[in-house]
A and B are shown apart, each in its own frame.
Chain A
Amino acid sequence: MLNVIDYVPGDTVLHRLNPVTKLILAAAIIAAIVLADGYAALIALIALTLILGIYAGSGSRLLSLLKVLVPIAALMLVLQLAFVRHGETVALFVTTDGLVSGTKACLRLLGVALPLVLMLTVTKTTDLANACVEKLHLPYKYAFTFTTALRFVPIFTQEMNAIMEAQTARGVEFDTKNPFRKMSLMLPVCIPLLVTSVGKTDATALAAEQRGFYLRTRASSFKRYPMRAIDVAALAVSVALVAFGIVL
C-alpha cells in the first residue's frame, strides 16, 4: 500500500541535497507563502512547488494530496465567505472582502501543505533524522520519535483497515452511505486500535533498547551529511524566496 509521504527513489538535485537543506528550503517556501499577499505570488509559489514535485518524480503524490486538500480548502472558503462581513455584497451573503480573504486562505492552505510533503517524498526518514541530529544538534530521542511516528502511520492504517474489515464482516455497517453514521460506528473500533498500538509502541521501545538505543550519540551515524556547494545554492534560493514573500 502506497502512502503519500513514502520515499520516492530518484537521483535528482532535490534528492541529492542535504536533508537539512531540504527542510530549510521547504520551510522557506512555507514562510514565503505565509508572508506573501498577492495572488500572483501565492500562485507562483504553489506552481514552483508543483514543478519541483514533477521534476523529482513525486508529482502524482502531490496530486493525490491535492485531491484531499481541495475539498478542505473549499470548506474553508465557504466559512470565510460566511464570516467575513466587510466589503460590498456580491450575491447572497458573499462579500468582496470575504472572497479575497477566503481565496487567499485556500491558496495558503495548499501552499503550506505541499512543500512539506514534497520534502518527505524525496528524503528517507532515517536520513532526515540523522542529518538533523548531526547538523541541527537535535537530540536523537526526538528524531527517533519522529521517524517512528512516520513509520507507524502505514502500519496503523493497515491495522485500522483490518479492524474495519473484521467489524464489517461481523455486520457493522461500515458500508453505510451516511458519513455521520460511519463516524459514530468508528468510535468503538478505536479501542482495539489503541490496545494494539500501545502494545506495539512498548515492543518497539524494548527492541530499540536491546539494540543500543541509549548508547547513540551525535557521532554514531555511519552516513555523514556534509553541506556541499549545491546546498549553499539552495540555501541562497531559500533566503531569496523568503525575501520574495516579504516584498510581494
Chain B
Amino acid sequence: MQPIIEMRSVSFSYGGDGERALDDVSLSIESGAFVGVIGPSGAGKSTLAAVLSGAIPHHFRGQLFGETIVDGTDTCEMTLTDISRIVGSVNQDIDAQMVASVVEDEILFGLENFGVDHRRIEKSITAALDAVGIADLRDREIATLSGGQKQKVAIAAILALAPRVLVLDEPTAALDPVSSRMVFDVLRDLNRNEGITVIVIEQKVALLSEYCDRLVVMNRGGVALTGTPHEVFAHGPELREIGVDSPRVARISNSLARRGLCPAEPPCLHVDEARLLIENLLARVGNRTRMRAADAPAGSPHIPARSGKQGPEPVVSMRGVNFAYPGGDASVNNLELSVYPGELVALIGQNGAGKTTATKLVNGLLKPASGTVRVAGLDTRQVPVSQIARHVSTLFQNPDRQLCKNTVLEEVAFGLELGGVAPQDARARARTVIARYGLDEAAAPFSLSRGQRQMVALASVVVLEPQVVVLDEPTSGLDYRECMTVMETVREMAERGCAVIMVCHDMEVVSDFAERLVVMADGCILDAGPTAEVFADEGLLRRARVRPPQVIELSELLAEEVSPAFNGISEVSGVVDTVMALMGQDGTSDPDGETESAPQANREAAPRDPKEADRA
C-alpha cells in the first residue's frame, strides 16, 4: 500500500550544533496502520512526532536534514496549517492543547478556522463527539473534566477536522489503567472504522502489544527495531539493553523458548496466548503433572521476605480518619491504616478513589476533619507541615513542582538546610548522594531531561533519610530503566528502615516492589493485605476496578485449569520454574537471565545494590 508518511534519512538537532535528537531516521508509515513508538527517554520519540506532524521544521528551530514526505509533498514545502489538514496531532500536555473553555467551542475552533461549510458543522461536531463516546460532555466546562475525558475531548477536536493521520504523544501518561484502555479503544475504533492511520508514542508495553499492528523501537535518535509486536518482543535481550520493557508474558515465553521448550517465535503477548502455550507444554508430559503438583511449593518463593517490619510501633497510623474537600466533590471516609518502619505499602484503586488524598493526610498537607493521623509520633493536626517534613518526605509525580534551585547541589541540599542542618554538612551529604546517582552537581535542574529531573527530586528525598517516604506516582513519565532505578532506590530506603507509602497505577511495579497493598475505592479502604493475597482476590480487584498484573492473571488461570502449583505466583521466574518443575526438569538453571524479575534486570542502572548481588 502507498505510504502516507515517508521519512527519508531525517536528522534533526535542536539549536545550532548540538547533539542530534534524530539521527538518520528512515521510516515509512503505511496508510491505515496502527503504529506504536516506544523507546527510553531521550531516544527522540517526541522529536519524531514533531517531524511527522510538521511542527519540525515549522515550529521548533534547529538543523534538519533529509526529507519527510506527507501524502506526496515534502513538509518543508507545505505550511504547518496545510500539513495539519492531513496529520492531526495530540500533544503531551492536554491543558495546553485546549483553546476554549467549553467542550463544544473546543471542537468548533478547528472547524471554523478551516472554513468548513457552516451547514455541515453541526454534523461534524456530533460525529466527532460520538466517535470518542463523549456526546454527553458537549456543554461541559473543560476545567471540570477528568484527565481521561480531557484526553478524549482533545482527540475529538482533532478528529472533527477529518485528518487522515493521528499522531499522539504519550496520550495516557497521566491516566489510570482503565482510562488508558478507553483511550486506546477509541483509537482502535477510529483506525478500524474510519481508516485513520494512528501513530502513538507510548511507554506502556502491554497496551502497545495489544493494540498496535506495528511497533517502532527508538534508541539514541535512531530506529532500533521495527516490526509487528510479535516480531519486536522476540528480541527481549536487545530491548532490555535499550531500556524498553517487554510484556511479562513475553518474558515467560522467551525464557521457555531459550530452554528449548517451545519455538523462539512468536513470543506470547497476551495472557491467553501464554496460558495456551503452557497448557500445551504440560499436556505433553501428561500424568506426571498431577503427580508432581503436590511437591511444588505453595505460593511463590520469590517474593523477597524481609524481617523486622512488624516493629512494636507503627510509624504512620490513621484512626477513623474522615476528610472532605470544600467543594464536596471528593472525600475519604473512616480510613484505618498502620504502616510499620521498613514496610513498602502501595495504595491502589481508580482515579478519584481517594489515594492522593490519603497520602496528603499522611504528609500533613491535609488535616483530618475527624479522627487522628499520627506520623513519627506527631499528631498532624497539631504540628505545622514544615515540622512534619523533617520526618516525612514526599516525591511528587511531577518533579518540576519540587525543583526550585539553580544547581543540583543546592537543590539536593535545600531540604536538609530547611531541616536545620548546617550548610556545610548539608552540602557534604548532598554531594555523596549526588555522586551515587551519577548526577552533575553544577547542572541547572531545569535543563535536565524529565527522567534526570525526577532523579534529582529523588536524590533530595534520599538525602533527608526520612522515617516515612510518600510517593505519588513516582514512575509516571519515566522510561523502564529510570523507573527501575527509582524503585530500587525506594526499596533500599525501605530496607534501611524507612516506611514507604506509594500511590502507583502501574500494577507491574506494584507487584514487583510492594509488600502490602491497600485497596481503595470511592474514598474508603476496601481491604488491605500482602500483595500476593490481594492480587489473588478477584472480587476485591473487581470492586476496586483494578486489573491484576499479567503474571498474576496468568498464574491464576493456570492454577485453575492446569495445576494448583501455579497458585499465587507473581513473578516471571516463578512461572518458568514451576513449568520446569512440573515437566520434571531442573528449573533453577537459567541460560541467560531472561527470567530475571524486573528489579534485577536493571543492575547497571542501580549502581549500588549489594542485596541484588547476593541473590544473583
A residues in contact (CB < 8 Å) with B: 1-2, 6-7, 124-126, 144, 147-148, 150-151, 154-155, 159, 162-163, 165-176, 188-189, 191-192, 195-196, 199-201, 203-216, 220-222
Contact = CB atoms under 8 A, between A and B. Distances in A.
Contact of A195 (B55, B96, B389, B446): B446
Given A169-B392, A175-B385, A208-B99, 9 more contacts: A169-B364, A195-B446, A204-B98, A207-B97, A207-B98, A208-B109, A209-B84, A211-B99, A211-B158
Contact of A7 (B97, B101, B384, B470): B101
A7 B141 contact: yes
Given A7-B141, A210-B53, A211-B110, A168 B385 contact: yes
B389 A222 contact: no
A203 B55 CA distance: 11
A160 to B, nearest CB: 10
B332 to A, nearest CB: 17
A215 B89 CA distance: 18
Interface stretch (B396-404, B486-494, B551-559): B396-404
A204 B96 contact: yes
Nearest to B121: A222
A99 B58 CA distance: 61
B150 to A, nearest CB: 12
29 contacts: A7-B101, A124-B101, A144-B99, A148-B99, A151-B98, A154-B143, A162-B401, A166-B402, A167-B402, A169-B364, A169-B389, A170-B389, A170-B414, A170-B415, A170-B418, A173-B386, A175-B385, A201-B96, A203-B93, A203-B96, A206-B59, A207-B99, A208-B109, A210-B53, A211-B99, A211-B161, A212-B114, A215-B81, A215-B113
A1 B327 contact: yes
Contacts of A169: 363-365, 385, 389, 392-394, 396, 470
Contacts, number: 166
A150 to B, nearest CB: 8
B293 interface: no
B484 to A, nearest CB: 24
B601 interface: no
A211 B389 contact: no
Interface string B116-133: 001001000000000000
Contact of B81 (A126, A163, A204, A214): A214
A195 B234 CA distance: 41
Contact of B95 (A6, A155, A170, A191): A155
B577 interface: no
Interface of B: 53-55, 58-59, 80-81, 84, 88-89, 91-93, 95-102, 105, 108-115, 118, 121, 141, 143, 157-158, 161, 327, 360, 363-365, 384-386, 389-390, 392-394, 396, 398, 400-405, 414-415, 418-419, 446, 460, 470
B384 A166 contact: no
A183 B118 CA distance: 51
B400 A209 contact: no
A202 to B, nearest CB: 8
A191 B102 contact: no
B91 A151 contact: no
Contacts of A208: 99, 109
Contacts of A216: 112-113
Contacts of B385: 168-169, 174-175
B194 to A, nearest CB: 19
A96 to B, nearest CB: 44
Contact of A188 (B97, B384, B404): B404
Chain B CB count within 10 A is highest, among A6, A195, A220, for: A220
A165 B400 contact: no
B410 to A, nearest CB: 10
A131 to B, nearest CB: 13
